[in-house]
Structure 1
């Protein structure tokens, strides 16, 4: 799954990286600890040159009131689930990230958080689906992140991972039909994904500063075990 992420690249670098401009009300603020229910920076198939913010958690269209929503969708079954079917067919998006966080279950102890990122780029895209939940005069753009089986980096940490798109697949994800996008929903196969242990500061979403991504300090950090290449 993907239950926490970050985006802290500077605005001009972010816009250059994705060849899109920030259109969010209030502008852009780098963030190190983004939790479900908070806004995520996205690029949708309907505005490929714009970076906007959508509520993290796809709110079911049948909900009477806004709610936190569904933060992840299994890519293998998204086309079968009523809540995701329309979005799967026609509303793909890129969810922009500088790295996401995952927790490894220890032997009977507390879970150990890891930061997972790409070594080749300060920001990358995860595959998402977007929707606009509407009720009376309310309209909330919302998004869910698609997940898949873990790759070799993620297997020691968790049994799922977000669909991380190769840079040259990002435009394709937005423009492809549903069958072609299904083929892109694979464990990330390139050798630039890496992971390292961080402190439990990330467990509290109020901790939103560069200290969150600092490597955990102890004699054997485990970094070598989970970096690729």
Structure 2
């Protein structure tokens, strides 16, 4: 799964990277502890134009009567995306990219303590998660919401978690965004074995109230 991530790329750099027009209401960056229900920057495409726009992380199906009417759907499994009632229309019609510079996963020690790991490109280059999105409205409440697509972890990451976010390579952005015809389903695979590096980080990131670049810095597990 993917329950926390980091994005440190400035808005103008994100807009250039994705060749997208940035919105005026994008969430502040850098952010080292992006949590569910936060607004996040996403990339969508329509009518020949890409947009960099904010969405609420946590997909709300149209039948939810309130944002808390059911489970918080921050992830969507690639294997069942096309069949799940909550996601099947979005996976065909409303796909997006979620820019990131890293994400967190947790293991547990013998006492059940949650131990965080930071997963990132070896060169710390930004990348893009596969996402799907949905508008949700009840009365005066209106949200544009999204979920990050996940798949089975590759061998390199399976020691940390059995699921991993789907990463869309730059050359495949047009296909995922619907600009290059059909066939996006073939992109929902785990990343190459050498795509990510990872290291233990401080348990301070376990709190959704903590921010700062020190959250991504490696630690000596024995010294914590």
Q: Same fold (TM over 0.5)?
A: yes
Partner residue in 2 for 1:91: 94
Query: What is the distance in 1 between the residues matched to 2:197 and 2:40?
Result: 22
Between the two proteins, the alignment pairs up a number of residues equal to: 221
Q: What is the Cα deviation at residue 210 of structure 1?
A: 0.7
Q: Which runs of 5+ in 2 are unaligned?
A: none
Question: Quick one: distance in 2 between partners of 1:148 and 1:127?
Answer: 11
For residue 105 of structure 1, report the CA deviation from its aligned partner.
2.6
Structure 2 partner of 1:224? none
> How far off its partner does 1:26 sit?
5.9
1:43 and 2:46 are equivalent in the alignment: no
Are the counterparts in 1 of residues 4 and 34 from structure 2 also a CA contact under 8 Å?
A: yes
Mapped partners of 1:211, 1:13: distance in 2: 22
Is 1:66 the counterpart of 2:75? The answer is no
Q: Is the 8 A contact 1:131 1:142 kept in 2?
A: yes
Distance 2:159 2:63 in 1: 38
- Partners of 2:156 and 2:193 within 8 A in 1: no
Choose from 148, 157, 164 the match for 2:167. 164
Deviation for aligned residue 1:176: 6.1
**In structure 2, do the counterparts of structure 1 residues 29 and 81 end up closer, same or farther at CA, with 3 Å as the change threshold?**
same
Contact 1:128 1:146 (8 Å CA) reproduced? yes
The whole-number CA distance in structure 2 between the counterparts of 1:44 and 1:190 is 28
Give 1:15's aligned residue: 15
Report if aligned partners of 1:22, 1:28 keep a CA contact under 8 Å in 2: no
The 1:178/1:152 distance shift into structure 2, 3 A limit, reads: farther
Q: Which residue does the alignment assign to 2:200?
A: 197
Contact 1:14 1:123 in 2 (8 A): no
Where 1:168 maps in the other structure, the secondary structure is helix
Post-superposition shift, 1:97?
0.6
Structure 1: which 4+ aligned runs deviate by more than 4 Å?
A: 176-179, 218-221
Bigger mean CA deviation after superposition, 153-162 or 179-188: 179-188
Aligned to 1:151: 154
SS at match of 2:205: helix
Q: Which moved more, 1:123-132 or 1:13-22?
A: 13-22
In structure 2, the residue matched to 1:134 is 137
Q: Secondary structure at the match of 1:188?
A: coil
Q: For 1:109 and 1:69, how far apart are their aligned partners in 2?
A: 24
Give the CA RMSD over aligned residues. 2.3
What TM-score, normalized by structure 1, do the two folds share?
0.88
Residue in structure 2 matched with residue 175 of structure 1 by the alignment? 178
1:6 aligns with 2:6: yes
Q: 1:3 to 1:26 in 2, by over 3 A?
A: closer
